[in-house]
Structure 1
Amino acid sequence: MPYRDLTRTVDTDMPVFPGDPTVTVEPHATHQEDGYRVSAVECGSHAGTHVDAPSHTEADGRTLDALDVDRFARDAVMADCRGRSPRSPIGPDALPATDADLVVVRTGWDEYWGEGTYFDHPHLTPEAAEFCVEQGYDVAIDALNVDPTPTDDAPSQGVPAHHALLGRGHLVFENLTDLADLPRRFRFLAFPLKLADGDGAPVRAVARYD
Structure 2
Amino acid sequence: MCNACVIDSVKRSMLSRRSLFTGAAATTAAVVAAGLTSARPALAAGSGKVADLTHAWDSDFPTFDGNPGILYEEAVNIDKSGYQLYKLTIFEHSGTHIDAPLHFSKDGMSVDEIPAGNLVCPLCVIDLKAKAKYDANAMVEPADIEAWVSANGEIPAGACVAFNSGWADKVATPEFRNTPDGNFAFPGFSKAATDLLATMNVACIGTDTLSLDPGNSADFAVHNSWLPSGRYGIEGLAGLDAVPARGATIFVGAPKHKKGTGGPARVLAVY
TM-score (norm 2): 0.71
Aligned 8 A contact 1:52 1:200 in 2: yes
Structure 1: gaps of 5 or more residues: none
- Structure 2 letter corresponding to 1:64: V
Distance 1:89 1:187 in 2: 24
The 3 A distance-change label for structure 1 pair 74 and 3 is: same
Structure 1 match to 2:231: 170
Q: Paired residue for 2:119?
A: 72
- The correspondence for 2:243, drawn from 176, 182, 190, is 182
Alpha-carbon shift at residue 143 of structure 1 (Å) = 0.9
Q: Which stretch of structure 1 is more off in the superposition, 55-64 or 15-24?
A: 15-24
Q: 2:59 touches 2:68 (CA, 8 Å); kept in 1?
A: no
Matched, 1:17 2:79: no
Per-residue deviation at 1:134? 1.4
SS of 1:167's partner is: helix
Q: 1:195 aligns with which of 257, 260, 266?
A: 257
Partners of 1:179 and 1:140 in 2: CA distance:
10
CA distance in 2, matches of 1:183, 1:81: 14
CA offsets per residue over residues 69-114 of structure 1, 9 Å max, x none?
2221111111111122211232111123423211111111111103
Shift of 1:26: 3.8
Moved over 3 A (4+): 19-22
Q: Which has the higher strand share?
A: 1
Taking the aligned partners of 1:32 and 1:19, their CA distance within structure 2 comes to 34
Alignment partner, residue 219 of structure 2:
158
TM-score, normalised on structure 1? 0.90
Q: Distance in 1 between matches of 2:71 and 2:209?
A: 21
Match in the other structure for 2:267 = 205
User: Which structure: greater helix fraction?
Assistant: 2
Whether the 8 Å contact between 2:186 and 2:210 is mirrored in structure 1 is: yes
Q: Look up the equivalent residue of 2:196 and give its one-letter code.
A: F
> Sequence identity, in percent?
25
Between Structure 1 and Structure 2, whose CA radius of gyration is higher?
2
The alpha carbon displacement at 1:19 in A equals 5.6
